[in-house]
Amino acid sequence: MNGSELTVKIKEFLTPQSESVFPQRRPMGDERFGDIVLRFRDLQYATKLPDAAIIGVPQDIGVNRNFGRTGAALAPDAIRRAFYKLTTFAGKTTLSADKFSIVECGNITVEGLSLEEIHRRQEQAVWLLLKAGITPIILGGGHDIAWPNGQALAKIDASYGVLNIDAHPDVRPLDAGKGHSGTAFRQILENKENPLPTGAFVEFGIQSFATSVFFLDFLRSKQARIVFYDDIRRNGFDTSVRDVFDYLASKARSLYTSFDIDSCASAYAPGASAPSTLGFTAEEICRAAYIAGKNPAVRLIDIVEVNPNFDADNRTAKLAAIMMAQFISGLAERKFGIN
C-alpha cells in the first residue's frame, strides 16, 4: 500500500484537521512537531507510508451516557495544540520527517452520528492503519473508544492483548445493550467474535475507593490481571510497568495500550472527566508512554478522558501532548534499534 491507496480507503471516515492547531513556524532551527508532521492532504503523495498516525475522536457521548462530565469532545484539538508546539528534540533521538514520519489524519467524523456509528468508523480507520503497518495514536474522547480500538487490533491479529492504565476498571454492564465510557473493557472481554486470548487483559492502576468488588470479581472471572495502584506504589512504578509488559508478552503478540488520564493524580491532570486524588505523577505516566513506545509488541495506543472544560491553563492537555511525544520517541528508538 502507498499513501495514495491509504488515502482513498481511509478518508471516508475522517474529517480534515483545522490548521489552527499548528503553530506558526518558529525562527530558524527551532523545529516543532507541527513542522515535521505530514498533513493528511499530503499523504496521497507519500511514496513511503508513515510510521505513526494521529487520529482524534472528538465526542463525549459515551461520557454523557455514563453520567460523567462532558468536555472530552474538546480534547483532541486541545492536545494537538500543545503537541504541535513541542520541539522535536527527544533526548536519545531527534525526530525528523525523513527518518520518522507521523501523519495527522484529523478526526473521525462524529457530526450528527450515533456513538455506535462513530465507533464503526473509528474501528475501520484504525484497522486500515494497523493493516498498513502504521502505529495509530488515538486521542479521545471518552473511554468508550477503547472498544473499537480493541476490535480493530483483534481483526489484525487474533493473538492480541490489552493493557488499560486507569484508576477504574471500566467494565460496567451495558445500558440497554448500549456501551458507554464505562463499559469498553467488558465489551472486549465478553466479545465472542474476536475473543481475547486467555489472560491477555491487564488493568493497571486500579485504586481503592474507585471500584467495586462486583467489577473486580467480573475481571477475575474473565482471567483478567489486576495490578492495583497500592501494589504499584509498594513495588515501584517502573518495575510494575516492565513486569506487566513482560507478562503480556507471554499472552499475546500484538498489544494495545490505553491511557486513561485519570490514572494520574489531579495535581498533574486536573482536566479529566473524573479526576483522581491519588494517581501517577506526570513523570511516571510519561515514562510509561515511553516504555510502551519502545516495546516491540505495542501497535496501538490511545489517550482518553482529557476534559479541557476542567483543565487549568491546559496543564492536562500538555501532559497528554508530552505523553504522545514520549511514546513517539520510544517508537523511533524501536525503529532505529536504539537501546
Q: Which amino acid is at 302?
A: D
Q: Which is nearer to a copy of itself, 63 or 90 (CB)?
A: 90
Residue whose CB is less far from a copy of itself, 81 or 251:
81
Q: Which residues pair with 203 in a beta bridge?
A: 164, 226
With vertex at residue 138, the alpha carbon angle to CA 39 and CA 77, rounded to the nearest 5 degrees, is 60
Identity of the residue, 143 or 318, whose beta carbon is nearer to a copy of itself in the bound complex? 318
Question: What minimum distance in Å lies between the beta carbon of 322 and a copy of itself?
Answer: 5
Pick 86 or 152: Cβ nearer a copy of itself = 86
Minimum CB–partner distance for residue 55 and a copy of itself (Å): 21
Least distance CB 310 / a copy of itself (angstroms): 6
- Least distance in angstroms from the C-beta of 82 to a copy of itself: 9
How big is the chain by its Cα radius of gyration, in Å?
A: 18
The set of cell numbers assigned to 20 is 489552527
Distance between CA 321 and CA 35 in Å, rounded?
15
d(CA 339, CA 98): 21
Q: Which is nearer to a copy of itself, 27 or 112 (CB)?
A: 27
Scanning the structure block, which residue is given the C-alpha cell 479526576?
Answer: 275
Side-chain-side CA neighbours of residue 220 (13 Å): 6
d(CA 282, CA 122): 28
The DSSP secondary structure of 66-116, one letter per residue, reads TT----GGGHHHHHHHHHTTSBSEETTEE--TTTS-EEEEEEE--TT--HH
- The residues that touch a copy of itself, with contacts defined as CB under 8 A, are 27-31, 86-91, 94, 172-173, 175, 208-216, 228, 230, 233, 265-268, 270, 275, 277-278, 282-283, 286, 310, 312-313, 315, 318-319, 321-322, 325-326, 329
Is the Cβ of residue 41 or residue 233 nearer to a copy of itself in the bound state? 233
Task: Name the minimum Å distance from CB 326 to a copy of itself.
Answer: 8
> What minimum distance in Å lies between the beta carbon of 60 and a copy of itself?
17
